[in-house]
Amino acid sequence: MNPQRVRAVARKEFLHVLRDPRSLGMAIAIPMLLLMLYGYALTLDVDNVPLVVWDQSQSQASRELISRFAGSRYFSLRAYVRNYRDVEAAIDSAQAFVALIIPRGFAGQVESGRPAPVQLIVDGSDSNTATLAVGYAEAVVLTYSQGIALQQIQRSSGRAPRPPLELRPRVWFNADLESRNYIIPGLIAVIMMVIAAMLTSLTVAREWERGTMEQLISTPLKGRELILGKLLPYFSIGLVDVVLAVLLGEFLFRVPLRGSVALLFALAAIFLAGAMSLGMLISIVTKNQLVANQLAMVTTFVPSLLLSGFVFAISNMPKPLQLISYVIPARYFVALLKGIYLKGVGLEILAGEAALLTVFGAGMVFLANVTFRKKLA
């Protein structure tokens, strides 16, 4: 391999990127824009669920129960209603997601120690939010019920009982349970996968469409020199994107980076090399910029978003999809980033994922070189 020929190809590609604002914008601005948009818009936290209340009891006990819901961070009391028609209208119009109905005899049942049923109507059109809202409501009602039970026991026995069990939860790695703390590392992996493949998917196809590939073939330039020379500029831009993404995560989204920065960039370099070689392979095979761009999007974005464990837990997927996820490189990079960002662990824990990511990177580089040599022959 001749370093001068590699440098000449890399210089040519650098000049093309610098002279084409669209390419430079796609290389740097789009990843940052996507990270900010998804970082702010994509959240799995369910807070301030809109709530309406139909209080038929109009008693101190019912008002206390309502105050438990209104004082919780998970519910936002929007209005009081007077009948089921109002409840239906509030849920249909999205004014409320949850409706709490307290019956007339609620206070008397509570004071006499009898079970006092209350009704909770939930909009099931969003099943995930509905499940969480029901869980939050059950927790509020359970806390309220335990308080009443303790008061009754204290009145009858003259002293407050001690609960037999005391749960002291302690959350590691994400103490505030902020979803952005694990969404942002996953976003970095998904966005880098898509952008890296899309950038290099146009390089070789552009040469074929412009008719300059025949000139390159006629020179002493070897296939691996051409591929390396075309990868280097975009690889450098990709590392700049990683730096900017890490800085955004640190200073804009306040995501803690507890692990080794050097390890993060070393693994990111391996991941970028594999993703860009995949884009190069697509470009070599298709020889058409439009087809290459579309194929790069289909083969990177959808699998990386759905099958990497970024949004949906892989363990909850059907077995066939779990098996397919093993060939998705973003799966390993997402796991590596979360381990470095949130847990602060190193290769002693992440060696398996790092090895598989290295296999992917080396395999894509090898396939790109082999395929291009076949095209030259």
Query: Is residue 43 predicted with pLDDT exceeding 80?
Result: no
In the chain, at which residue ranges do the beta strands (DSSP E only) sit?
49-55, 75-80, 98-102, 119-122
Q: What is the pLDDT of residues 267-289, one digit of tens each?
A: 999 999 999 999 989 988 888 88
For the chain, state the CA radius of gyration.
29
Would you state the structure tokens that stand for residue 31, as one six-digit string?
Answer: 């990843």
CA angle 146, 150, 151 (to 5 degrees): 120
Query: 129 falls in which pLDDT band (50, 70, 90)?
Result: confident
Question: Could you tell me the two tokens for 204?
Answer: 């070789």
- Strand 75-80 to strand 98-102: parallel, antiparallel, or no bridges (unpaired)? unpaired
Q: Could you tell me which residues are beta bridge partners of residue 98?
A: 51, 122
Residues 322 and 316: their CA atoms lie apart, in Å, by 9
Does the pLDDT at position 207 exceed 80? no
| The pLDDT of residue 228 is above 80 | yes
**CATH number of the domain at 49-157, please?**
3.40.1710.10
CA dist., res. 237 & res. 173, Å (int) = 31
Q: Are 233 and 13 in contact (CB under 8 A)?
A: yes
Query: How do the domains of the chain map onto residue ranges?
Result: 3-43+178-376, 49-157
**Per-residue pLDDT tens for 75-114?**
999 999 999 999 999 999 989 999 999 999 898 888 887 8
pLDDT for res 369? 86
